Structure 1
Amino acid sequence: MNQSTAKPAGYLQDAAARSATAALLGTPEGCNDQVVGTILSGWRYDLSEVSPATRTDYEAHLLDCYHCRARQRLHRTIDVVLLALFTLSFFAFLLATAIIHRAPWGQTALASLHTAHLSFAVTLQTVALGGLLFSLLLWIMVALMTPAPMLIHNTVQQRRLATGRQRL
């Protein structure tokens, strides 16, 4: 099989060839080239910052090595799931902040501290705002430290091209 014209196998093709678990976790035998496999695993299988000449060699290895391809797929799956989780968390805290801001709890005192009353709504709203900011910070960290945003962008572009070709 010529490596330059070979198409990378997708999850479904790998799962059909072996098993769904092996398609994400790799094989018990491990990588077929331990030196390259160790380098790729140290980079978390991220080839976005690698020079184009080196990238072609590593991409060829990923086409040949089922284990490394599965491990790369696992890492990208974790990255995308983290982005989705922090996005949902952000919107949940945003909704909680809006609901608490409009709720009738503003008059309920949580505790009397000598001369000031600590409002239950203000306390809940502070916690919700803290969660909102924490979710946003974690989302930004995942987006900056992983190639997941580029992966999502490339996937969307490929889907658009595929649907555009089907319409013609």
Structure 2
Amino acid sequence: MINKKLVALAAATMVVSTLFVGCGGSKTEDASTEGTSTENATVKTVEIPGEEDTTIVELTLENGTPVAVNIDTKNADGSMKSEASASGAYDMKNDGKKWHEQIDLLEEAIVENNFDLSKINITDEAGHTDAVSGVSIKVKGYVDAVQEALDRVK
């Protein structure tokens, strides 16, 4: 299987904008924002501290338009959830896909729907969706973080 991160990095015309969006607790207006612009791109970094962890949304932009997304969680101890999931250190104790595999499916659905997040239908108050086959994790916080990232790169 080809590593999607390597494919995204290999595209020479793409510019990566990394946005750090916290899960709960802090308000957007309290976030620090840094940005740089070039003729072809805007790179903006936003960090909003969460109570326990930080959701990281990395958008790949081509001519100012998002073309790829990478979602991860930085835990309070500094570890990354995707790495812990891939290594088996983070086990959701289910028979389905691991966390990193489910977040990959969510990312693919977001890109396939051209970043129209309304197509990632949230089905319950817990934040689950039935719009992405194979995904049983709560996605509302991740979808909200992607929306925040999109709002900040406009």
What range is the shorter-chain TM-score in?
A: under 0.3
Q: Tell me which of the two structures has the higher relative contact order, counting C-alpha pairs closer than 8 angstroms and 6 or more residues apart.
A: 1
Which structure's CA Rg is the greater one? 1
TM-score normalized with structure 2 length: 0.27
Where is the helix percentage greater, Structure 1 or Structure 2?
A: 1
